[in-house]
Amino acid sequence: MSMLEIEGLNVWFGRDRDRVDAVKQASFNVGAGESFGLVGESGSGKSTILRAITGLAPTWSGRIAVGGMAIGRSRPKQFYKKVQMVFQDPYASLHPRHSVDAVLGETLHLHGFNDIDARVVKLLDDVGLGQKFRFRYPHQLSGGQRQRVAIARALAPEPELLLLDEPTSALDVSVQAEILNLLADLRQEHGLTYLMVSHDLSVVGHMCDRLAVMKDGEIVEIMDVAALRAMQATHPYSQHLLQASV
Amino acid sequence: MAEQTLRAWLLTDTPTSRRHAKLSALYQGWLAFRANTMAMIGLGILLALVLIAAAAPLLAPHDPYVQDLGNRLAPLGSEGHILGTDSLGRDILSRLIYGARITLYIVALVAMIAPIVGLLVGTVSGYVGGWVDIVLMRITDIFLAFPRLVLALAFVAALGAGIENAVIAISLTAWPPYARIARAETLTIRSSDYISAIKLQGAGGLRIITKHIWPLCVSSLIVRVTLDMAGIILAAAGLGFLGLGAQPPSPEWGAMISEGRRFILDHWWVATMPGLAIFTVSLAFNLLGDGLRDVLDPKAGE
Amino acid sequence: MMDTLLDVENLWVRFPTRQGVFDAVRGVSFTLGRERLGIVGESGSGKSMTGRAILRLIRSPGIVEADHIKLDGVDLLQKSEKEMREVRGERISMVMQDPKFSLNPVMTIGDQIIEAYRLHNKASKSEAWGKALEMLEAVSIRNPERVMRAYPHEMSGGMGQRIMIAMMLIPNPEILIADEPTSALDVSVQRQVLDIMDKLVKERGMGLIFISHDLNLVADFCDRVLIMYAGRIVEVCDADKLHDAQHPYTRGLLNSLPRLDAPRARLDVLSRDPEWSEAPSVSGRI
């Protein structure tokens, strides 16, 4: 069964002469429980695909289906219970005046949970932060701790599909290892499906089962990680990318 | 010892409850504010002003309205009238003390009307965008295009002279800059990741504006209002001076200067003393505003 | 033996804060010859501060202290601010992480290069123009005339960084300090920029201080590496032997990287030993 189906997706910004086509005719499937990577350089449109799925990039055409249900222009509240996203920069993705408790509490409230206190405690434990971080403000947290809070927020509605937009590119390598391990554990515990965007082939190679290589808004190749590890890319651009990152 | 532990409790990095976290954040802001000597002086003056206004009947040596034509225009330091008397023989010190009430009244009313209108218009305009933005911002432009005092004069002329009408007129001319600031801030906040993140939780526009955008705009507005207070006091005094604000015999500072103007060459203190009062309070607000900016401005914080 | 260009002894960078004095760099010593010296570490390890402190670019209230920072035997700490201005750019140049913030957005690139050139050399406009073209060619920019007439916002990141390097090299400095010069660039462009830098450094016999968080990049590109942790140097080694590093911190960093050729179910997590930040700084002198 496919968790996410994308068919002939076009995303553009602006119109007429100023129109920029960020994604052109992208198609791929992500199976339930799978971890799928989107790889490419800056401006290749990989993050734009995530933003189109979540509705943050409103001008798109083609077909996006989550759990077999096609998405229309506006997304029902139910959609956000299924699909959540973790942003790239943990320094920008937390409200500077909201404590960890407020961030998680509000998210849970919006999704209609009643036992908010117990759930906040559980979420913090799940992401390895623990109780003493509950009432802190973002400026009292390190980059890695902030990203854990952002992951806890994404997990709050108990989603099935998690979109990860370069979740570790703003972090130090030792912190990156912690976050990647956490994401791998969470995927196993909660049976999550991941769609992960990254410019770092080794991170995608570590986290994902399959990946798509993007260039100038188009998907040039879809391959599995075994082929990536064996350096068996077929498209010249993916070969070039592979060579540059070893 | 108890004080030490209270301080440690307030400065902790690991607050144990919502209230604790709030108090701790407040205390750290207070520490930053306290380090600014000039701001503390401003705060001190304003606190003194509030106390004086509250305790006016106890502090004033004379009734501010009682005339004594036999003792008119008494100089500074004359017996029973430290700051002298005005053209009708009323004690200037007592009038200044009672005038503090009027000044505070004006300040409080304007501070409640103008920034709130500005915040509403600015954040809605910035967040919703499209034609709402265009309409609201053109209205703002129209208000901004008039010279402030002239517009206030026109309003007072239409509504009738009086202190409430003066406040309304000043507020109506004061909100557009706040709307501009709030809109500019909203535009940057709107595109940030934390707003995207809360949108992904299905939050609606109203919640995003009130719970996520307002808290970030409010601090810069508070700073701006405090810095503008001097101008507002001066505008109120100006209207009083022109006879369009508080009406005699009310001891409004601007009106007092206006009365004293006739004698300024021979009896300079009659106009100078209320002038000094206006100067002191305006300065205090400016100092306070500068200090608040250091504490509240989120951009300087990181 | 290699001649020493720069000699730094016991360098401290301090920032007074409300909670007391914060030491960003704590007693670092090293020398730089005509080589490529890498400084690696995580954010907050003091690597960028070290680079800036050499040029005395630490903003107040920060304080730079050292026994000496000698450039060709002359102590930079003894120089006045005015004399320092001659050292910056003229003898030691610096390339920053993001070229977008280092170029003037309202001047064409050509005008900026020409201005920089004429600041350091007496030359007519047309001479400087020719020289600027030459510089752009040296950093492998294909049609330099077009680039000269362009504004910075029309340039891609890799192009911008090449232009920055070109500008920094105009006065023919003895030392180039590059602070994460390729972190904002895509991998394929990264390599090109590094190659250009490498070629220029070798041809001109310059000393290069290459500050980066990327261990693999430094291992590949540099001759010698200083590994910094909490404001101190914990290990010094030859770049080609970085993968056999001894210090547990270096080992931990290396092991925490995911690798394509050696898949693992879990990545090793660095457990920090408080002793690392207590141990005295290792000297990077030769």
Looking at residue B179, its pLDDT comes to 94
Mark which residues 198-217 of C lie under 8 Å from A by CB.
213, 215
- Angle CA B197–B201–B204, to nearest 5: 95
Option in A42, A203, A229 nearest C186 (CB): A42
Looking at chain B, the whole-number percentage of residues with pLDDT higher than 70 is 97
CA distance linking residue B191 with residue B211, whole number of Å = 16
Q: What is the pLDDT of residues C220-270, one digit of tens each?
A: 889 999 999 999 999 999 988 888 888 999 999 888 888 888 888 888 888
Residues C85 and C188 in one domain: yes
pLDDT exceeds 60 at position C170: yes
Asked if residue C208 is part of any domain, the answer here is yes
pLDDT tens for C101-116 read 778 888 998 888 888 8
pLDDT at B46: 92
Q: Which of A96, A110, A132 sits opposite B14 (nearest CB)?
A: A132
Among C127, C147, C172, the domain-final residue is C172
Give a yes or no: residue C283 inside a domain: no
Check whether residue C106 and residue C187 sit in a common domain: no
Tell me if C140 is assigned to some domain. Answer: yes
Does pLDDT of A104 surpass 60?
Answer: yes
Note whether A95 contacts B194, CB cutoff 8 Å.
yes
Cα atoms in the 13 Å half-sphere on the side-chain side of A50: 28
B246-250, B271-275, C127-131: least confidently modelled range: B246-250
pLDDT of res. B302: 37
Residue A177 is part of a domain; what is its CATH number? 3.40.50.300
Using CA atoms, how far apart are residues A242 and A232, in angstroms rounded to an integer? 9
What would the pLDDT profile of A28-86 be if each residue is shown by its tens digit?
999 999 999 999 888 888 999 999 999 888 889 999 999 888 888 888 888 999 999 99
* Reported ipTM: 0.88
C245 & C157 share domain: no
Is C259 in contact with A202 (Cβ distance < 8 A)?
yes
**Minimal Cα distance from A165: which residue of B?**
B193
Residue pLDDT, tens place only, B104-152:
888 889 988 999 999 999 999 999 988 999 999 999 999 888 887 888 8
- Map out the domains of chain B as residue ranges: 106-296
* pLDDT tens per residue across span C119-148: 877 888 888 888 888 888 888 788 888 888
Query: C160 and C19, same structural domain?
Result: no
- Gap between the Cα atoms of C170 and B244, Å rounded: 68
Q: Indicate if C186 and C78 belong to the same structural domain.
A: yes
Contact at CB, B197 and A133, closer than 8 angstroms: no
The answer to whether residue C200 is domain-embedded is yes
Residue C130 lies in a domain: yes
What is the residue-wise DSSP string for C41-95? --TTSSHHHHHHHHTT-PPTT-EEE-SEEEETTEEGGGS-HHHHHHHBTTTEEEE
C172, C198, C230: which is the final residue of a domain? C172
pLDDT-based confidence at residue C1 (cuts at 50, 70, 90):
very low
Contacts of C264 in chain A (CB under 8 A): 206
Domain assignment present for residue C16? The answer is: yes
Does B2 score more than 60 pLDDT?
no
C147: containing domain: 102-172
| Residue C112 shares a structural domain with residue C178 | no
pLDDT (tens digit per residue) in C32-90: 998 999 999 988 899 999 999 999 988 888 899 999 999 988 999 999 988 998 888 88
Are residue C80 and residue C140 in the same domain, yes or no? no
Same domain, C215 and C264: yes
Residue A132 lies in domain: 36-45+77-245
Confidence of residue B4 (pLDDT cuts 50, 70, 90): low
The number of domains in chain C is 2
Same domain, C178 and C81: yes
Residue with tokens 């000393």: C207
Range B106-296 classified under CATH 3.40.190.10: no
Question: What would the pLDDT profile of B5-31 be if each residue is shown by its tens digit?
Answer: 777 787 777 777 888 888 888 888 888
Contacts of B17 in chain A (CB under 8 A): 135
pLDDT tens for B67-89 read 888 788 878 777 778 888 888 88
Which of C139, C172, C205 terminates a domain? The answer is C172
Q: Which chains have 3 or more CB–CB distances shorter than 8 Å to chain B?
A: A
pLDDT of residue B301: 41
Per-residue pLDDT reduced to its tens digit, C27-48: 999 999 989 999 999 888 999 9
Give the model's pLDDT for residue C144. 87
Q: Is residue A82 part of a domain?
A: yes
Looking at residue C188, its pLDDT comes to 75
Please determine, for residue A176, whether its predicted confidence score (pLDDT) is greater than 70.
Answer: yes
- How many domains are there within chain A? 1
Buried residues in C258-280 as b, exposed as e (16+ CB within 10 A): bbbeeeeeebbebeeeeeeeeee
- C212 and C167 within one domain: no
Residues C71 and C86 in one domain: yes
> Which pLDDT does position A191 carry in this prediction?
92
Is the pLDDT higher at A192 or at C119? Answer: A192
Same domain membership, residue C121 and residue C261: no
CB C188 to CB A229 under 8 A? no
In a domain, C132, yes or no: yes
Band of residue C157 on the pLDDT scale cut at 50, 70, 90: confident
Q: Which pLDDT band, with edges at 50, 70 and 90, does B3 fall under?
A: low
The answer, for C188 touching chain A at a CB cutoff of 8 Å, is yes
